[in-house]
Structures are given as structure tokens and as C-alpha cells.
Amino acid sequence: MNQRFLGNENKLKRILESMGFEVARDYSISGNIVSIFLPQEKVGFEFDGPMHFRKRDAGRDKRILEESGIKIMRITEKDLHDKDLQENILEWMSE
């Protein structure tokens, strides 16, 4: 994993912690590793970078939701720099 990608994950982790969430890194769910997991909210976050494949990942996310009830939010680098990121996260989590 490249340093820039890891830096983005660290930034998201800090943002989520500043929002008051308990954050776990590299968490195993249904045989898959989720980059960031909020155990109390049953929400996982994955960074979509050049090694991700949307169609395959959408299927994996659906399977995780069906098997464990855990929602997966996909974040891009652009999302990370959106001034409304915290609001967007809370809105998505409430859906």
C-alpha cells in the first residue's frame, strides 16, 4: 500500500475520532478486511483507489451487509477533502 493511500486512511480515522466514534483499523468482516470500522455503529469505510474495482466491490459490500448487517461506505480522495465530509458521513449513516 502506498504512503499517500495510508495517509488518507489515517486522515479519515482522525476525522471519525474527532466526531466521537470508536474506530478500528483493518477489521475482518465476513472474511474481508475493511480499512476502517465503527463497531458501535456497524459501519465500515473503504478507500476507493486505483486497485479497487467498483462492480466487484459493490458485490462484496452487498454480501457483507447481508451476512453481517454492516454497511460499507466507499470514500475517494476527493471525498476526503470535501468540506461537507462529516455531514455527508452522518447523513449516509442515517439512511
> Where is pLDDT greater, at 16 or 61?
16
**What pLDDT was estimated at residue 84?**
96
**What pLDDT was estimated at residue 2?**
53
Its pTM surpasses 0.85: no
pLDDT tens sequence across 47-93: 876 555 566 677 888 888 889 999 999 888 889 889 999 999 999 99
**What are the residues whose beta carbons fall under 8 Å from the beta carbon of 64, sequence distance 6 or more?**
29, 30, 32, 34, 44, 70, 72
d(CA 82, CA 23) in angstroms, rounded, equals: 21
Count of alpha carbons within 13 angstroms of residue 87, beta-carbon side: 4
Instruction: Using DSSP bridges, classify how beta strands 32-38 and 43-47 pair: parallel, antiparallel or unpaired.
Output: antiparallel
